[in-house]
Amino acid sequence: MKEDSICTTGELLGTVLAVQANFYRVQLDQGVRSQEGGTAVRPYRSQKSEIIESDSLLSPVPSPPPPTLLCTRRTRLKKIGQQVMVGDRVVVEEPDWSGKRGAISDVLPRHSELDRPAIANVNQILLVFAVADPPLEPFQLSRFLIKAESTGVDVILCLNKCDLVSLEEKQEISDRLQSWGYKPIFISVQNHINITEVANYLNHKITVIAGPSGVGKSSLINMLIPDANLRVGEVSGKLARGRHTTRHTELFEMPNGGLLADTPGFNQPDLNCTPEELIYYFPEARKLLENGSCRFTDCLHRDEPGCVVGDDWERYEHYLEFLNDAISYQTFLKEQSDPESTLKLKSKKGQNQYEPKLETKKYRRVSRRVQVQNLQDLDLEGEE
């Protein structure tokens, strides 16, 4: 069947599962070939807000896993600087079925792109926290949620280890998160609670699992995908550079379709959004802004008159704190884009590049720095 479809066009579509050195592990679509750049079945689509997809009905009987080929990237793609990322939808040419090799000749447009981990076409982030052990830290949870929201892909919140708390405690957490605009799924990997429910969210999607160290991310993946064999309980956030840590990004295939990526637990995701957009990553504040607007269009919702957001919501303090971060980050970016302030221009091997200046104390010896910069400019002009 598959071979037949190749013979007619010589072209196949697949998804990049992993990048290893200069090779790309590509899982081909099930019995599907490309048709004028489109596909008959696109297994991993972006369908925001739509959780259960109707095309799961297309394959009621589990089919054998589609073939995986180790592929190189065509020189043409290298020449035009076209990168291939994990998660990319690619066109594969010249499949060698016995050697399981092929060549990537084209990359379809991405509908999303995460940078840490670097994965294209992610549909959703499954944020995993534990209700206990490690204890649920609201500020940390908030930070992860904001980071996840800022990627623009859907966010699912999953709270593991519910075997460790009472029903009342669970209810309290649930009420609190509801006021934040989230409806968490309580699970216990250990006691097999609600695992199927989580699995249903993951069908036919590319999902990245994120969350702090020790909450049970790898345990969950191992339960969902027994073949994944991820190490559990060995890696802590602080030791995450140890030799057991997975350094490369890899997508694991769910038994019923759907791809999952594990991430090493990190405890403080960086926030790098602008001060203006930050408020939109708080669902509870977003709702207030949907129902009205602030008097000033550049309102940062601190204590400006006529602000519809106000301070009457639990995470307001978090907002103010993240806002400070966002403002500092913006200042940092501005300085970076103004080479005279923090960077110096160096000429290496005939190429100009910016390097950070060693001096970090701000507002000192400005005139001297400007002088040095001018001298460097002169130097460069002299070289030309």
Ligand X SMILES: Nc1nc2c(ncn2[C@@H]2O[C@H](COP(=O)(O)OP(=O)(O)OP(=O)(O)O)[C@@H](O)[C@H]2O)c(=O)[nH]1
Q: Residues interacting with Zn ion, by CB under 5 A?
A: 294, 299, 301, 307, 309
158 annotated as a binding-site residue:
no
Whether 294 has a binding-site annotation, put simply, is yes
Which residues partner with 8 through β-bridges? Answer: none
> Does 123 interact with Mg ion (rule: CB under 5 A)?
no
For residue 251, the minimal CB distance to ligand X (Å) is 17
* Number of chain positions touching Mg ion (CB under 5 A): 2
Residues written for the chain: 384
For residues 73 and 217, which CB has a smaller minimum distance to Mg ion in the complex?
217
Min dist. Cβ of residue 234 to Mg ion (A): 8
Long-range contacts of 56-64 (CB under 8 A, 24+ apart): 56/203, 56/204, 56/256, 56/257, 59/30, 59/257, 62/255, 62/256, 63/30
State the nearest-atom distance from the C-beta of 162 to ligand X, in Å: 7
Binding residues for ligand X (CB under 6 A): 160-161, 163-164, 188-190, 213-219, 232-233, 235-237, 264-265
223 is in the binding site of which of Mg ion, ligand X, Zn ion, none (Cβ under 5 to 8 A by kind)? Answer: none
Answer yes or no: is 306 a known binding residue: no
Is 299 marked as binding a ligand? Answer: yes
CB of 241 to Zn ion, least distance (A): 42
Rounded Cα gap, residues 139 and 154, in angstroms? 20
Separation between Cα atoms, residue 175 and residue 193, nearest integer Å:
20
Q: Which does 254 bind (CB under 5 to 8 A by kind): ligand X, Zn ion, Mg ion, none?
A: none
- Rounded to whole angstroms, the Cα distance separating 22 from 249 reads 14
44: Cβ contacts below 8 Å, ≥ 6 apart: 15, 87, 89, 121, 123, 204, 205, 206, 258, 259
Kindly state the smallest distance separating residue 272's Cβ from Zn ion, in Å: 22
Burial-class residue 11 by CB neighbours within 10 Å (0-12, 13-18, 19+). Answer: middle
Among ligand X, Mg ion, Zn ion, none, the one that 39 touches (CB under a kind-dependent 5 to 8 A) is none
Q: Select from Mg ion, Zn ion, ligand X, none the partner in contact with residue 216, using the beta carbon and a kind-dependent cut-off of 5 to 8 Å.
A: ligand X
Host H or E run for residue 217: helix 217-224
How does DSSP assign 26-87, residue by residue? EEEPTT--EETTEES--SS---TT--S-GGGGG--SPPPPPPEEEEEE-HHHHHTT----BT
What are residue 101's DSSP bridge partners? 70, 96
Determine whether the annotation assigns residue 217 to a binding site: yes
3-state secondary structure of 213: coil
CB of 296 to Zn ion, least distance (A): 7
Residue number, 108 or 225, with CB nearest to ligand X: 225
Decide which of ligand X, Zn ion, Mg ion, none touches 307; Cβ closer than 5 to 8 Å per partner kind: Zn ion
The distance of closest approach from Cβ of residue 293 to Zn ion in the complex, given in angstroms and rounded to an integer, is 8
User: Is position 367 annotated in a ligand binding site?
Assistant: no
For residue 115, say whether it is annotated as part of any ligand binding site.
no
161 annotated as belonging to a binding site for a ligand: yes
- In whole angstroms, the minimum distance from the beta carbon of 310 to Zn ion comes to 8
Q: How far is CA 131 from CA 202, 242, 275, 290, 338, in A?
A: 22, 26, 30, 31, 45
Considering only residues 217 to 246 of the shown chain, the ones binding Mg ion according to CB under 5 A are 217-218
Q: Determine if residue 211 is labeled as part of a ligand binding site.
A: yes
**Which of Zn ion, ligand X, Mg ion, none does residue 309 bind to, with CB < 5 to 8 Å depending on kind?**
Zn ion
Residue 216 known to bind ligand: yes
Place of tokens 């200042």: 331
Residue 301, contacted partner among Zn ion, Mg ion, ligand X, none, CB below 5-8 A by kind: Zn ion
Return the structure tokens found at 218. Answer: 């790898």
339 Cβ contact list (under 8 Å, min separation 6): 345, 354
| 3-state SS, residue 162 | helix
Binding partner selected for residue 283 from Zn ion, Mg ion, ligand X, none, CB under the kind-specific 5 to 8 Å limit: none
The angle formed by the CA atoms of residues 235, 240 and 244, to the nearest 5 degrees, is: 60
Nearer to ligand X, 186 or 319 (CB): 186
